Amino acid sequence: MMTVTLELSPEQEVKLRSYIARRDREGISQLLVAAFAPTVEVLLDRERDRAVENESQFETFADRLADRFATYFPSHPPVLSDYGISRAGIYEERL
């Protein structure tokens, strides 16, 4: 569950109380939507920052994994011939 807190300026709070007293649904809706817009921007910025951080962490993890993987193989592995990577060479035993 997520709780979102709206910060209202003193002027917005006075307007909101006035709209509530008059039961002005349209005024309440407009004021809350206007107050919610900056909160949405903050949430989106925070999520973008988190995504960048996660991407950075993933890149670091992937680099370490590739480096570790590379330790299991010679620095210059043998090159396969053109025949070795051809369809006939791959399926040689099955034909």
Q: What is the mean pLDDT of the chain?
A: 85
> What predicted TM-score, i.e. pTM, was given to this entire model?
0.45
Q: What confidence score (pLDDT) does residue 47 get?
A: 80
17-32 pLDDT, tens digit per residue, is: 999 999 999 999 999 9
For the beta carbon of residue 61, count every other beta carbon within 10 angstroms.
Answer: 10
Instruction: Check: CB of residue 31 under 8 Å from CB of residue 12.
Output: yes
**Rounded Cα gap, residues 29 and 94, in angstroms:** 71
7-61 pLDDT, tens digit per residue, is: 899 999 999 999 999 999 999 999 998 888 888 888 888 888 877 788 888 888 8
Of 41, 53, 31, which is closest to residue 4 (Cα–Cα)?
A: 41
